[in-house]
Amino acid sequence: MSDWIKCSDRLPETSPDTDTTFIVAVKRAHNGKTYVFTADWLNEKLLNKEDPEPDDPEDGTPFTGWYQLETHADYDQYWEPLVQPSSGDVITHWQPLPAPPTE
């Protein structure tokens, strides 16, 4: 397992229009505790490029940041920011996923 990297030191470097899964540490504002999750780093990811909605202002806008892929009963999957700005939560550290086990 690799060492944690502070988000204030650097963010992941990935190819444009990609999403890559990492392990992240999130400090929650409501209780001060740090939790560990997997999250996807979107690097200039173009959303809805296969089936754009003509009235959606976010179509064609590249997204960069920490997101989670969520499901919805009315439509397929969508990207949700891991941390909402109004929550006060902070993504403090990240690291690559470990290599899968070998037999």
8 Å CB contact between 96 and 22: yes
CA dihedral (49, 54, 55, 57) positive or negative: positive
pLDDT of residue 50: 54
pTM of the shown model: 0.80
Segments of the chain with pLDDT less than 70: 1-2, 47-60
Average pLDDT over the chain reads 86
